[in-house]
Amino acid sequence: MPTQTFLDYLYRAGSASVLGAGWIPRERLTIPERTAVQRELESRPSTYLELGPGHGQLYSKFLEMGWDCTGVEPGDWGQHLPGVVRSISALPSGSLFDVVVAIDVLEHLSDPVGLLSQLREFAAPRSRLYASFPNHESWRFFRNKGAWRMIRPLGHVQYFSRRSAETMVERSGFRLISADKNDMTDPSWTRPGTMMFPFVQRAVGDQWLIVATPT
């Protein structure tokens, strides 16, 4: 397992080893990001913490919704966003957040339990944690095995079953509310709103989207 220091160095350098060859910032929100926005639309704006906001697509949505936003982003690309710091240690002591987001993050970490445990210290009572990460129980994984599209040495160092996701959450001081399969983006051969869409996501979804709350 590579050390987190080495992985952080590769991310700060924008290495294709971790970002993927030909990586470009996405312009649209992913399915997990859209889900987080939709579930919080009716909530009164409060405090928001995002781990790995990247170029800020989701982060900006919560800013537009009136939330008090803070982000942790070790790379240079997130530093133009208001309230973004480079490490969890730079968060103000005693800060509590009502929504905590780690989407497309935990698979990149050598110790995801350790990081979630750190985030737990900043989670307000009754807060919601949204996280997404690769699902190695997906149909595509069983079909493609070593050629599975989520396999990215150094980029993805963690893969999860539902059981391991629940164990990770519980060891970090959270309680799992839901775990749903989805993809990061909509399949090209179906559309949200069609009768096939929910079935397709449950059957072939390469990602888990989990929602949890502090214990």
E strand intervals along the chain: 47-51, 68-72, 84-85, 97-103, 123-134, 174-182, 207-214
CB-CB neighbours of 129 under 10 Å: 25
CB-CB neighbours of 147 under 10 Å: 8
Q: pLDDT tens, 22-48?
A: 555 567 898 899 999 999 998 999 999
The answer to whether 8 touches 14, Cβ cutoff 8 Å, is no
Q: pLDDT tens, 167-204?
A: 999 999 999 999 998 887 655 444 555 545 555 555 56
- How far apart CA 14 and CA 201 sit, in angstroms, is 30
Half-sphere exposure of 101 toward its Cβ, with a 13 Å CA cutoff? 28
Asked if CATH classification 3.40.50.150 holds for the domain at 30-214, the reply, yes or no, is yes
Q: pLDDT tens, 122-155?
A: 999 999 999 999 888 888 877 777 777 777 777 7
pTM for the complete prediction? Answer: 0.86
Instruction: Tell me the domain boundaries of the chain.
Output: 30-214
pLDDT score recorded for residue 58: 96
Torsion of CA 60, 50, 185, 108, to 10 degrees: 140
Q: pLDDT tens, 41-79?
A: 989 999 999 999 988 999 999 999 999 999 999 888 888
